[in-house]
Amino acid sequence: MKYFAVTILSSIMIIYTASAFADITVLKVKGTAAYKAGRKWVPLKARMKLREGVKISTGANSYAEVSLNSLNHTVTIKPLTMIQVFSKETKSSTNTSIGLKRGRITAKVPRKERVKTVFKVSTPIATSSVRGTEENISYGPGRGMIIEVIKGVVEGSNRLGRKNLLTARQKFVQQYSQAQALNILQDVRNQALITIYGHGLTAEEIVALLYTDDQTGSPDGDTGILDNQMQQDARVSISIVWP
Amino acid sequence: MIRKKHVLLYSVMILMLSVLTFAQNVSQIDWLSDLDSRKTATYGDAVKIYALQTTGRYSTFRSDSSLLEKKGIALAGYAEGDELSKGMLSKMTARYLDLGGSIMYSIFGTERYAFRACIANGIMRADGSENDIISGPELVEVLGRVSEIKGED
């Protein structure tokens, strides 16, 4: 009787474990892409099955597309990107967590009724939570974490727990050493409005004015390059348009 | 019998060649991982990553440099081990992307104005100067942005 109970319990455990881990499958590879097996990088190939917690890296001009579970949640890994994938799946829920170490990914998370979906992309400075959508996420030390919504709704939250709910055309930009993400409509605002400073000048015009004294580009204002050209002849073509 | 041997030999050679053609060179992934951990990138790293970006492979510094020189991306007067500044990387990037957005860069073509042109195009951040030294992860990040702009992904 005891032997029978152990067998039943073991079988249940095996079945449960098998269903808990989702199938991480490589759909497409272009150029150089690899996954980490032990301490080595191994080339990634289409239709390859990967284990939970796998690290994937892509080279220059290369990308890989990976399916994360049976619900067709996919991630496209763009050039010079490194990620780590954790994906679990049961009949009623999916739980995917992607660690973005560097680079850019596009996540597609089609929504399915009656299946509770958790899909998170984390970087050292912020996290994106997807709720049935398509999004571009990038991360790097200079520009920080950027979430661009293509379709649907995404929540971006930084390490301090400050959250922004994003829909189409909105962008979450969290930079290092900033307590708060930038305005989510900053891009739209920048495209629509030009900031005018004193005397009606734009920033570019002010920069041009500031640096016209120092045309050599040297920090100490050395005009040697121009001075050396003073005694030379030059041909200049001028087109005059009369009003 | 000899003909059969020849056919077999050629078949094996074709098979090996096709395997080599489609085999991925994972060494660049190893190198990129190593670059991730470096606090300072060098001009040699920039040459290597631009060789990868333009041809998909890299070789020695000398041959990569001459290749980039032909394409107008390489810089004159720098050695392989020289620390890479934002200005140097900006100039290589501006040449590769053929950035013409900044009037000052179009006229003078210096590292200083290349850096400003890169800021204007959203490749570099506005804080800092062209003399700042770039780290390994920053170099990889800039090249990722270059790929994005080129539409190579």
Mutation site, A39, A55, A80, A191, interface B, largest B CB count within 10 A: A80
Note the pLDDT tens digit of each residue in A169-189.
Answer: 788 889 887 878 888 887 777
pLDDT of residue A17: 45
Which residues of chain B does A60 touch, with a Cβ-Cβ cutoff of 8 Å? Answer: 28, 49, 52-53, 56, 143, 147
Contact A81 B30 (CB under 8 A): no
Contact A102 B140 (CB under 8 A): yes
Q: Is the pLDDT of residue A12 over 60?
A: no
Q: Is the pLDDT of residue A225 over 70?
A: no
Measure CB to CB from residue A217 to each of B32, B108, B137 and give the nearest one: B108
Q: How far, in Å, CA of A110 to CA of A92, rounded?
A: 15
pLDDT interval class at A54 (50, 70, 90): very high
Q: How far, in Å, CA of B71 to CA of B54, rounded?
A: 9
State the Rg of chain B over Cα: 20
Which residues of chain B does A141 touch, with a Cβ-Cβ cutoff of 8 Å? Answer: 135, 137-138, 141
pLDDT of residue A212: 62
Q: How far, in Å, CA of B75 to CA of B92, rounded?
A: 7
Which residues of chain B does A41 touch, with a Cβ-Cβ cutoff of 8 Å? Answer: 26, 29-30, 33
Handedness of CA A132, A134, A140, A146 (dihedral sign): negative
Q: With a cut of 50, which residues of chain B have pLDDT below it?
A: 18-22
Interface TM-score (ipTM) > 0.85: no
For the residues A69-85, what does the mean pLDDT come to? 93
Measure CB to CB from residue B49 to each of A60, A211, A219 and give the nearest one: A60
Contact B33 A104 (CB under 8 A): no
Q: Are B139 and B41 in contact (CB under 8 A)?
A: yes
Give the other-Cβ count within 10 Å of B103's Cβ.
13
The top-scoring range by mean pLDDT among A31-40, A210-219, B13-22 is A31-40
Which three-class secondary structure string do you get for B70-120? HCCCCCCCCCCCCECEHHHHHHHHHHHHCCCCCHHHHHHCCHHHHHHHHHH
Q: Are A82 and A103 in contact (CB under 8 A)?
A: yes
pTM score, two decimals? Answer: 0.75
Contact B137 A102 (CB under 8 A): yes
Q: Which residue has the tokens 């489609």?
A: B22
What crossing angle do the helices spanning B86-97 and B43-55 adopt, rounded to 10°? 20
